[in-house]
Structure 1
């Protein structure tokens, strides 16, 4: 193989390695976004579980995020208002809302697991390409000496 062929092969490997790293970074961002959504759903689920045992008119502390709580009075423990997307909110039975949140959380966890597996494959691929690049560079340096 000529020196020029080796240079071209090295460039191709480098481009592949950079693409694998770029795709892995994009997947990592999506995984982090999914984790934020999952945390939001877990927080909502926690509140739904807390109000299950409460009666209408009962006072309670509501976590509004960032370890900040407000005093609140539960007007209706049986019905909640839930956003279903694009700013649309519906009134829903608390148990139905809880089941829906649990289902959404399960789907998010499944998607996160799938993305994590893809991420691991891309990282492994990038590492293998990086090893090939290092090996080719070392061989080219030995031949050049």
Structure 2
């Protein structure tokens, strides 16, 4: 195989790997955003667990509009368990559910970060190979 053809193939492989790396980086950022959202939810649930009486809260209606609402039963929560299925849970159960989701996200982030590091190592290796071929 000619040196020029090898270089072209390596460049094509390099571009594919770079696109995969960018996609993984975007997914990792999305997961960080989701994890932050779950952590805020966890804080709120822990607040509800700590209070004894009814509480007044602000409810986000969207578009920067909020409404004052009275939370009559702060010990029961409606939890989306997936596929749009919502079930009533005690606040402690909701906390455990959210903690499990956070743990899964962290595990997935670790896997994706490891995959990203492997891809970046391949990218670096191919870049070095291309540079060496161009020196010939």
- Separation in 2 of the partners of 1:88 and 1:69? 26
Q: TM-score, normalised by structure 2?
A: 0.85
Q: Secondary structure at the match of 2:77?
A: strand
Aligned with residue 38 of structure 1, among 4, 28, 35: 35
What RMSD, in angstroms, separates the aligned Cα atoms of the two structures? 2.3
Aligned with residue 86 of structure 2, among 89, 103, 121: 89
Partner residue of 1:128? 125
Deviation of 1:24 after TM superposition, in Å, equals 0.7
Unaligned residue ranges in structure 2 (runs of 5+) = none
Partner residue of 1:56? 53
CA contact (8 A) 1:34 1:112 kept: yes
Correspondence list, 1:75-114, <5 A: 75-114=72-111
Aligned with residue 11 of structure 2, among 11, 14, 22: 14
Partner residue of 1:117? 114
Deviations 1:9-66 (A, max 9, x none): 111211221111111111112112211211111111010011111123133567899x
* Count of residues in correspondence between the two structures: 135
- Separation in 1 of the partners of 2:5 and 2:55? 73
Spell out structure 1 runs of 4+ moving beyond 2 A. 58-65, 68-74, 85-88
CA contact (8 A) 1:81 1:89 kept: yes
Deviations 1:92-144 (A, max 9, x none): 111111001101100110100110111111112112211211221122xxxxx
Unaligned residue ranges in structure 1 (runs of 5+) = 140-145
